[in-house]
Amino acid sequence: MKIGIIGSGAMGSGIAQVAAQSGNDVVLCDTRTEALDKSKAGLSQTLIKLVEKGKLTQEAATQLDNRIQYSIDLKEMAGCDLIIEAIVENLEVKKTLFANLEAIVSEQCILASNTSSLSITAIASSCQKPERVLGIHFFNPAPLMPLVEIIPALQTSIELPEKIKVLLESWNKVPVMAKDTPGFIVNRVARPFYGEALRIFEEGIADIATIDAAMKDLGFKMGPFELMDLIGNDVNYAVTESVFSAMYFDQRYRPSITQKRMTEAGWLGRKSGRGYYGYNNQTAPPQPQDNPQLRAAISNRILTMLINEAYDALYLGIASAEDLDTAMTKGVNYPKGLIEWGKEIGLENCRNSMAELYSFYQEDRYRCSVGLRG
Ligand code: NAI
Protein backbone atom coordinates (compact mmCIF):
# COMPACT_ATOMS: atom_id res chain seq x y z
CA MET A 1 0.00 0.00 0.00
CA LYS A 2 1.03 3.60 -0.41
CA ILE A 3 0.54 5.59 2.77
CA GLY A 4 0.56 9.37 2.96
CA ILE A 5 1.39 11.07 6.25
CA ILE A 6 0.83 14.80 6.62
CA GLY A 7 2.74 16.61 9.37
CA SER A 8 6.27 15.40 10.09
CA GLY A 9 6.36 16.29 13.79
CA ALA A 10 6.57 13.86 16.70
CA MET A 11 3.51 11.84 15.68
CA GLY A 12 3.74 11.98 11.88
CA SER A 13 7.40 10.85 11.93
CA GLY A 14 6.58 7.95 14.27
CA ILE A 15 3.58 6.84 12.19
CA ALA A 16 5.68 7.03 9.00
CA GLN A 17 8.23 4.72 10.62
CA VAL A 18 5.50 2.26 11.64
CA ALA A 19 4.00 2.19 8.13
CA ALA A 20 7.39 1.80 6.42
CA GLN A 21 8.44 -0.90 8.89
CA SER A 22 5.42 -2.92 7.72
CA GLY A 23 6.59 -2.74 4.11
CA ASN A 24 4.47 0.17 2.87
CA ASP A 25 5.70 2.97 0.66
CA VAL A 26 5.28 6.23 2.53
CA VAL A 27 5.10 9.87 1.49
CA LEU A 28 5.69 12.20 4.44
CA CYS A 29 4.56 15.76 3.82
CA ASP A 30 5.00 18.97 5.82
CA THR A 31 4.75 22.66 5.00
CA ARG A 32 8.15 23.31 6.59
CA THR A 33 11.38 21.96 5.06
CA GLU A 34 13.06 22.13 8.50
CA ALA A 35 10.44 19.81 9.92
CA LEU A 36 11.06 17.30 7.12
CA ASP A 37 14.85 17.52 7.58
CA LYS A 38 14.47 17.01 11.34
CA SER A 39 12.20 14.02 10.78
CA LYS A 40 14.61 12.42 8.31
CA ALA A 41 17.58 12.96 10.63
CA GLY A 42 15.58 11.59 13.58
CA LEU A 43 14.67 8.43 11.69
CA SER A 44 18.31 7.89 10.66
CA GLN A 45 19.35 8.08 14.32
CA THR A 46 16.59 5.67 15.34
CA LEU A 47 17.59 3.20 12.63
CA ILE A 48 21.26 3.32 13.64
CA LYS A 49 20.24 2.51 17.23
CA LEU A 50 17.93 -0.33 16.14
CA VAL A 51 20.73 -1.87 14.05
CA GLU A 52 23.23 -1.47 16.93
CA LYS A 53 20.84 -3.19 19.30
CA GLY A 54 20.36 -6.03 16.82
CA LYS A 55 16.63 -5.30 16.44
CA LEU A 56 16.95 -4.62 12.73
CA THR A 57 19.46 -5.76 10.10
CA GLN A 58 21.38 -3.08 8.22
CA GLU A 59 19.64 -4.24 5.06
CA ALA A 60 16.15 -3.92 6.59
CA ALA A 61 17.06 -0.48 7.95
CA THR A 62 18.21 0.72 4.55
CA GLN A 63 15.06 -0.63 2.91
CA LEU A 64 12.87 1.04 5.53
CA ASP A 65 14.69 4.35 5.04
CA ASN A 66 14.29 4.11 1.25
CA ARG A 67 10.56 3.51 1.51
CA ILE A 68 9.93 6.99 2.93
CA GLN A 69 9.78 9.90 0.54
CA TYR A 70 9.79 13.44 2.01
CA SER A 71 7.95 16.29 0.34
CA ILE A 72 6.60 19.79 0.90
CA ASP A 73 4.19 19.35 -2.01
CA LEU A 74 0.74 18.08 -1.01
CA LYS A 75 0.20 16.94 -4.61
CA GLU A 76 2.59 14.04 -3.89
CA MET A 77 -0.35 12.49 -2.01
CA ALA A 78 -2.03 11.74 -5.36
CA GLY A 79 -1.22 8.02 -5.52
CA CYS A 80 -1.90 7.18 -1.85
CA ASP A 81 -4.39 4.54 -0.66
CA LEU A 82 -4.55 5.85 2.90
CA ILE A 83 -3.59 9.26 4.28
CA ILE A 84 -3.06 9.91 7.98
CA GLU A 85 -3.03 13.55 9.00
CA ALA A 86 -0.91 14.57 12.02
CA ILE A 87 -0.67 18.36 11.69
CA VAL A 88 -1.37 21.10 14.24
CA GLU A 89 -4.36 20.47 16.56
CA ASN A 90 -6.70 23.08 15.06
CA LEU A 91 -10.11 22.22 13.60
CA GLU A 92 -10.21 24.92 10.92
CA VAL A 93 -6.69 24.11 9.68
CA LYS A 94 -7.50 20.40 9.57
CA LYS A 95 -10.81 21.00 7.74
CA THR A 96 -9.07 23.10 5.09
CA LEU A 97 -6.43 20.41 4.63
CA PHE A 98 -9.03 17.64 4.22
CA ALA A 99 -11.00 19.69 1.69
CA ASN A 100 -7.79 20.39 -0.30
CA LEU A 101 -6.75 16.74 -0.13
CA GLU A 102 -9.95 15.54 -1.74
CA ALA A 103 -9.08 17.50 -4.86
CA ILE A 104 -5.75 15.65 -5.11
CA VAL A 105 -6.41 12.02 -4.16
CA SER A 106 -8.34 9.22 -5.87
CA GLU A 107 -12.02 8.45 -5.11
CA GLN A 108 -11.00 5.37 -3.09
CA CYS A 109 -8.35 7.00 -0.93
CA ILE A 110 -9.11 6.73 2.81
CA LEU A 111 -8.58 9.91 4.83
CA ALA A 112 -7.71 9.65 8.53
CA SER A 113 -6.93 12.09 11.31
CA ASN A 114 -4.63 11.43 14.27
CA THR A 115 -6.33 14.18 16.31
CA SER A 116 -6.37 13.69 20.09
CA SER A 117 -9.27 15.96 20.89
CA LEU A 118 -11.16 17.23 17.86
CA SER A 119 -14.41 15.82 16.49
CA ILE A 120 -13.82 13.39 13.62
CA THR A 121 -17.38 14.11 12.51
CA ALA A 122 -16.56 17.83 12.20
CA ILE A 123 -13.39 17.07 10.21
CA ALA A 124 -15.31 14.68 7.91
CA SER A 125 -17.93 17.36 7.27
CA SER A 126 -15.35 19.32 5.23
CA CYS A 127 -15.24 16.51 2.64
CA GLN A 128 -17.38 15.75 -0.40
CA LYS A 129 -17.10 12.08 0.49
CA PRO A 130 -17.22 12.09 4.31
CA GLU A 131 -17.84 8.32 4.36
CA ARG A 132 -14.13 7.78 3.64
CA VAL A 133 -13.01 9.75 6.72
CA LEU A 134 -12.24 8.34 10.18
CA GLY A 135 -9.97 8.81 13.18
CA ILE A 136 -6.83 6.68 13.58
CA HIS A 137 -5.35 7.80 16.88
CA PHE A 138 -1.82 6.60 17.68
CA PHE A 139 -0.05 7.06 21.01
CA ASN A 140 3.30 8.70 21.58
CA PRO A 141 5.86 7.35 20.67
CA ALA A 142 3.96 5.65 17.83
CA PRO A 143 6.62 3.02 17.03
CA LEU A 144 6.63 1.81 20.65
CA MET A 145 3.04 2.13 21.86
CA PRO A 146 0.89 -0.74 20.59
CA LEU A 147 -2.53 0.90 21.04
CA VAL A 148 -4.38 2.65 18.25
CA GLU A 149 -7.92 4.00 18.69
CA ILE A 150 -10.11 3.77 15.58
CA ILE A 151 -12.87 6.38 15.61
CA PRO A 152 -15.61 6.30 12.99
CA ALA A 153 -17.30 9.65 12.35
CA LEU A 154 -21.09 9.73 12.13
CA GLN A 155 -20.67 9.77 8.34
CA THR A 156 -18.04 6.96 8.05
CA SER A 157 -19.08 3.98 5.93
CA ILE A 158 -19.97 0.87 7.96
CA GLU A 159 -17.21 -1.37 6.59
CA LEU A 160 -14.29 1.09 6.84
CA PRO A 161 -13.42 0.79 10.60
CA GLU A 162 -13.15 -3.02 10.36
CA LYS A 163 -10.95 -2.73 7.26
CA ILE A 164 -8.62 -0.34 9.12
CA LYS A 165 -8.58 -2.67 12.12
CA VAL A 166 -7.27 -5.53 9.97
CA LEU A 167 -4.67 -3.22 8.42
CA LEU A 168 -3.43 -1.98 11.82
CA GLU A 169 -3.18 -5.53 13.13
CA SER A 170 -0.97 -6.33 10.15
CA TRP A 171 1.22 -3.43 11.34
CA ASN A 172 1.51 -5.22 14.73
CA LYS A 173 -0.68 -2.66 16.44
CA VAL A 174 -3.50 -3.30 18.91
CA PRO A 175 -6.55 -1.44 17.59
CA VAL A 176 -9.68 -0.63 19.61
CA MET A 177 -12.92 0.96 18.45
CA ALA A 178 -14.08 4.19 20.09
CA LYS A 179 -17.12 6.39 19.67
CA ASP A 180 -16.50 9.91 18.36
CA THR A 181 -16.76 11.64 21.74
CA PRO A 182 -14.35 14.00 23.56
CA GLY A 183 -11.07 12.29 24.48
CA PHE A 184 -12.19 9.03 22.81
CA ILE A 185 -11.21 6.25 25.28
CA VAL A 186 -7.81 6.93 26.84
CA ASN A 187 -7.90 10.71 27.10
CA ARG A 188 -11.34 10.50 28.72
CA VAL A 189 -10.97 7.54 31.07
CA ALA A 190 -7.51 8.62 32.30
CA ARG A 191 -8.65 12.11 33.41
CA PRO A 192 -9.13 11.23 37.12
CA PHE A 193 -5.58 9.86 37.31
CA TYR A 194 -4.39 13.45 37.01
CA GLY A 195 -7.44 15.40 38.17
CA GLU A 196 -8.06 13.52 41.41
CA ALA A 197 -4.33 13.49 42.25
CA LEU A 198 -4.25 17.27 41.80
CA ARG A 199 -7.37 17.67 43.92
CA ILE A 200 -5.88 15.58 46.75
CA PHE A 201 -2.73 17.70 46.56
CA GLU A 202 -4.75 20.95 46.57
CA GLU A 203 -6.68 19.79 49.61
CA GLY A 204 -3.36 19.32 51.42
CA ILE A 205 -4.03 15.66 52.10
CA ALA A 206 -0.57 14.69 50.90
CA ASP A 207 2.48 15.94 49.03
CA ILE A 208 3.21 14.98 45.41
CA ALA A 209 5.80 12.32 46.24
CA THR A 210 3.38 10.53 48.58
CA ILE A 211 0.54 10.64 46.02
CA ASP A 212 2.90 9.28 43.35
CA ALA A 213 4.12 6.55 45.70
CA ALA A 214 0.52 5.59 46.55
CA MET A 215 -0.29 4.95 42.88
CA LYS A 216 2.97 3.06 42.36
CA ASP A 217 1.99 0.87 45.33
CA LEU A 218 -0.93 -0.21 43.12
CA GLY A 219 1.40 -1.22 40.26
CA PHE A 220 1.32 1.95 38.13
CA LYS A 221 4.79 2.46 36.61
CA MET A 222 4.68 6.20 37.24
CA GLY A 223 2.74 8.36 39.65
CA PRO A 224 0.39 11.09 38.34
CA PHE A 225 2.84 13.96 38.98
CA GLU A 226 5.77 12.10 37.44
CA LEU A 227 3.60 11.32 34.41
CA MET A 228 2.32 14.92 34.06
CA ASP A 229 5.96 16.07 34.12
CA LEU A 230 6.73 13.59 31.36
CA ILE A 231 3.73 14.49 29.18
CA GLY A 232 4.27 18.21 29.80
CA ASN A 233 2.00 20.25 32.06
CA ASP A 234 1.02 22.48 29.14
CA VAL A 235 -0.05 19.51 27.01
CA ASN A 236 -1.86 17.75 29.86
CA TYR A 237 -3.63 20.98 30.85
CA ALA A 238 -4.72 21.63 27.26
CA VAL A 239 -6.20 18.13 26.95
CA THR A 240 -8.06 18.54 30.25
CA GLU A 241 -9.45 21.93 29.26
CA SER A 242 -10.53 20.62 25.88
CA VAL A 243 -12.33 17.59 27.36
CA PHE A 244 -13.91 19.78 30.08
CA SER A 245 -15.44 22.27 27.64
CA ALA A 246 -16.39 19.57 25.12
CA MET A 247 -18.24 17.78 27.95
CA TYR A 248 -20.29 20.92 28.64
CA PHE A 249 -18.37 21.65 31.85
CA ASP A 250 -19.13 18.41 33.65
CA GLN A 251 -17.39 18.88 37.02
CA ARG A 252 -15.74 15.47 36.83
CA TYR A 253 -13.40 16.85 34.16
CA ARG A 254 -12.72 20.25 35.74
CA PRO A 255 -9.11 21.38 35.14
CA SER A 256 -6.90 22.29 38.08
CA ILE A 257 -5.67 25.79 38.88
CA THR A 258 -2.48 24.23 40.24
CA GLN A 259 -1.75 22.83 36.78
CA LYS A 260 -2.67 26.11 35.10
CA ARG A 261 -0.20 27.99 37.32
CA MET A 262 2.54 25.44 36.58
CA THR A 263 1.95 26.01 32.87
CA GLU A 264 1.95 29.80 33.29
CA ALA A 265 5.26 29.62 35.16
CA GLY A 266 6.76 27.60 32.33
CA TRP A 267 7.32 24.72 34.76
CA LEU A 268 6.26 22.24 32.12
CA GLY A 269 8.06 19.17 33.42
CA ARG A 270 11.04 17.25 32.07
CA LYS A 271 11.21 19.22 28.83
CA SER A 272 11.71 22.55 30.66
CA GLY A 273 13.96 21.14 33.40
CA ARG A 274 11.39 21.85 36.09
CA GLY A 275 7.87 20.68 36.80
CA TYR A 276 6.47 19.15 39.95
CA TYR A 277 9.95 17.73 40.35
CA GLY A 278 13.34 19.25 39.45
CA TYR A 279 15.34 17.72 36.59
CA ASN A 280 18.69 19.44 36.87
CA ASN A 281 20.06 17.26 39.70
CA GLN A 282 20.51 20.30 41.94
CA THR A 283 18.14 19.21 44.66
CA ALA A 284 17.42 15.82 46.17
CA PRO A 285 14.02 14.44 45.08
CA PRO A 286 11.29 14.73 47.73
CA GLN A 287 10.68 11.55 49.69
CA PRO A 288 7.18 10.05 50.08
CA GLN A 289 5.70 9.62 53.53
CA ASP A 290 5.98 6.10 54.85
CA ASN A 291 2.36 6.01 55.93
CA PRO A 292 0.62 2.89 54.53
CA GLN A 293 -2.84 3.98 55.73
CA LEU A 294 -2.62 7.39 54.05
CA ARG A 295 -1.21 5.88 50.86
CA ALA A 296 -3.99 3.29 50.71
CA ALA A 297 -6.64 5.99 51.19
CA ILE A 298 -5.15 8.06 48.33
CA SER A 299 -4.77 5.17 45.91
CA ASN A 300 -8.26 3.87 46.71
CA ARG A 301 -9.76 7.30 46.01
CA ILE A 302 -8.00 7.79 42.66
CA LEU A 303 -8.63 4.20 41.56
CA THR A 304 -12.31 4.45 42.50
CA MET A 305 -12.67 7.59 40.37
CA LEU A 306 -10.91 5.86 37.46
CA ILE A 307 -13.16 2.80 37.71
CA ASN A 308 -16.23 5.05 37.92
CA GLU A 309 -15.08 6.82 34.74
CA ALA A 310 -14.48 3.53 32.89
CA TYR A 311 -17.90 2.16 33.86
CA ASP A 312 -19.48 5.44 32.78
CA ALA A 313 -17.78 5.14 29.37
CA LEU A 314 -19.04 1.56 29.13
CA TYR A 315 -22.57 2.62 30.05
CA LEU A 316 -22.52 5.37 27.41
CA GLY A 317 -21.30 2.98 24.71
CA ILE A 318 -17.97 4.76 24.15
CA ALA A 319 -16.31 1.33 23.74
CA SER A 320 -16.76 -2.33 24.68
CA ALA A 321 -15.54 -3.59 28.08
CA GLU A 322 -12.76 -5.47 26.34
CA ASP A 323 -11.61 -2.45 24.32
CA LEU A 324 -11.79 -0.18 27.37
CA ASP A 325 -9.42 -2.50 29.23
CA THR A 326 -7.12 -2.99 26.23
CA ALA A 327 -6.94 0.79 25.75
CA MET A 328 -5.77 1.52 29.29
CA THR A 329 -3.27 -1.34 29.46
CA LYS A 330 -1.79 -0.93 25.96
CA GLY A 331 -2.10 2.85 25.54
CA VAL A 332 -1.04 4.11 28.96
CA ASN A 333 0.45 0.99 30.60
CA TYR A 334 -2.09 0.61 33.41
CA PRO A 335 -1.31 -2.50 35.46
CA LYS A 336 -4.84 -3.79 34.91
CA GLY A 337 -7.91 -2.85 32.88
CA LEU A 338 -10.36 -0.75 34.92
CA ILE A 339 -13.45 -2.84 34.10
CA GLU A 340 -11.68 -5.98 35.28
CA TRP A 341 -10.24 -4.13 38.30
CA GLY A 342 -13.72 -2.98 39.29
CA LYS A 343 -14.98 -6.55 39.20
CA GLU A 344 -12.03 -7.72 41.27
CA ILE A 345 -12.65 -5.10 43.95
CA GLY A 346 -16.36 -5.76 43.69
CA LEU A 347 -18.79 -3.27 42.16
CA GLU A 348 -20.57 -2.91 45.48
CA ASN A 349 -17.33 -1.86 47.16
CA CYS A 350 -16.70 0.65 44.34
CA ARG A 351 -20.23 2.03 44.77
CA ASN A 352 -19.69 2.36 48.52
CA SER A 353 -16.41 4.24 47.98
CA MET A 354 -18.17 6.62 45.56
CA ALA A 355 -21.03 7.08 48.03
CA GLU A 356 -18.55 7.99 50.78
CA LEU A 357 -16.85 10.56 48.56
CA TYR A 358 -20.19 12.03 47.52
CA SER A 359 -21.53 12.19 51.04
CA PHE A 360 -18.38 13.96 52.24
CA TYR A 361 -17.99 16.47 49.40
CA GLN A 362 -21.60 16.87 48.22
CA GLU A 363 -20.26 17.66 44.75
CA ASP A 364 -21.55 16.44 41.40
CA ARG A 365 -17.95 15.47 40.58
CA TYR A 366 -18.31 12.50 42.94
CA ARG A 367 -21.60 11.09 41.63
CA CYS A 368 -21.63 7.35 41.09
CA SER A 369 -22.08 6.41 37.42
CA VAL A 370 -25.23 4.54 36.47
CA GLY A 371 -22.83 2.09 34.83
CA LEU A 372 -21.31 1.24 38.18
CA ARG A 373 -24.73 0.84 39.77
CA GLY A 374 -25.27 -2.16 37.47
P1 NAI B 1 4.04 18.55 16.11
O2 NAI B 1 3.90 19.97 16.44
O3 NAI B 1 5.22 17.79 16.60
O4 NAI B 1 4.00 18.35 14.50
C5 NAI B 1 3.05 18.95 13.66
C6 NAI B 1 3.68 19.14 12.28
O7 NAI B 1 2.66 19.51 11.37
C8 NAI B 1 4.74 20.25 12.24
O9 NAI B 1 5.93 19.73 11.70
C10 NAI B 1 4.11 21.32 11.33
O11 NAI B 1 5.07 21.98 10.52
C12 NAI B 1 3.17 20.49 10.49
N13 NAI B 1 2.05 21.23 9.93
C14 NAI B 1 1.27 22.16 10.52
N15 NAI B 1 0.30 22.57 9.69
C16 NAI B 1 0.46 21.87 8.54
C17 NAI B 1 -0.25 21.83 7.31
N18 NAI B 1 -1.32 22.60 7.09
N19 NAI B 1 0.18 20.98 6.36
C20 NAI B 1 1.25 20.19 6.55
N21 NAI B 1 1.97 20.18 7.71
C22 NAI B 1 1.58 21.02 8.67
O23 NAI B 1 2.67 17.85 16.59
P24 NAI B 1 2.42 16.36 17.10
O25 NAI B 1 2.65 16.28 18.55
O26 NAI B 1 3.11 15.41 16.18
O27 NAI B 1 0.83 16.25 16.89
C28 NAI B 1 0.23 16.15 15.62
C29 NAI B 1 -1.21 15.69 15.76
O30 NAI B 1 -1.24 14.43 16.45
C31 NAI B 1 -2.13 16.63 16.54
O32 NAI B 1 -3.40 16.56 15.97
C33 NAI B 1 -2.11 16.01 17.94
O34 NAI B 1 -3.28 16.33 18.66
C35 NAI B 1 -2.06 14.53 17.61
N36 NAI B 1 -1.49 13.67 18.64
C37 NAI B 1 -0.42 14.06 19.39
C38 NAI B 1 0.10 13.20 20.36
C39 NAI B 1 1.30 13.59 21.16
O40 NAI B 1 1.53 12.99 22.23
N41 NAI B 1 2.09 14.56 20.74
C42 NAI B 1 -0.49 11.88 20.63
C43 NAI B 1 -1.57 11.53 19.73
C44 NAI B 1 -2.06 12.42 18.81
Q: Ligand 1 within 6 A of 33 CB?
A: no
Q: Ligand 1 within 6 A of 31 CB?
A: yes
pLDDT at position 285 is 87
12 Cα–ligand 1 center, Å: 7
Q: Ligand 1 within 6 A of 147 CB?
A: no
Q: Does the active-site annotation cover 137? A: yes
294 Cα–ligand 1 center, Å: 41
Give me the catalytic one of 8, 114, 126, 187: 187
Closest alpha carbon to 194 in 255, 144, 148, 271: 255
Q: Is the pLDDT of residue 281 over 90?
A: no
Q: What is the pLDDT averaged over residues 212-240?
A: 95
Closest approach atom of ligand 1 to CA 11? 26
pTM, 2 dp = 0.95
Q: What is the pLDDT averaged over residues 136-147?
A: 95
Q: What is the pLDDT averaged over residues 328-345?
A: 96
85 Cα–ligand 1 center, Å: 8
pLDDT at position 283 is 79
Closest approach atom of ligand 1 to CA 38? 9
Give the per-residue SS3 of the chain: CEEEEECCCHHHHHHHHHHHHCCCEEEEECCCHHHHHHHHHHHHHHHHHHHHCCCCCHHHHHHHHHHEEEECCHHHHHHCCEEEECCCCCHHHHHHHHHHHHCCCCCCCEEEECCCCCCHHHHHCCCCCHHHEEEEEECCCCCCCCEEEEEECCCCCCCHHHHHHHHHHHCCCEEEECCCCCCCCHHHHCHHHHHHHHHHHHCCCCCHHHHHHHHHHCCCCCCHHHHHHHHCHHHHHHHHHHHHHHCCCCHHHCCCHHHHHHHHHCCCEHHHCECCCECCCCCCCCCCCCCHHHHHHHHHHHHHHHHHHHHHHHHCCCCCHHHHHHHHHHHCCCCCCHHHHHHHHCHHHHHHHHHHHHHHHCCHHHCCCHHHHC
Tell me the pLDDT band of 332, cut-offs 50, 70 and 90.
very high
Give me the catalytic one of 113, 126, 137, 308: 137
7 Cα–ligand 1 center, Å: 6
Tell me the pLDDT band of 230, cut-offs 50, 70 and 90.
very high
221 Cα–ligand 1 center, Å: 27
Q: Is the pLDDT of residue 155 over 90?
A: yes
Q: Is the pLDDT of residue 282 over 80?
A: no
Q: Does the active-site annotation cover 308? A: no
pLDDT at position 351 is 97
Q: Is the pLDDT of residue 121 over 80?
A: yes
Closest approach atom of ligand 1 to CA 115? 32
pLDDT at position 25 is 98
Q: Ligand 1 within 6 A of 72 CB?
A: no
Site to probe by mutation for ligand 1, drawn from 88, 101, 104, 138 as the one with most ligand atoms within 8 Å of Cβ, is: 88
Q: Is the pLDDT of residue 374 over 80?
A: no
Compute the mean pLDDT over every residue in the chain, rounded to the nearest whole number.
96
How does pLDDT run across 12-56, given as a tens digit for each residue?
999 999 999 999 999 999 999 999 999 999 999 999 999 999 999
pLDDT at position 152 is 98
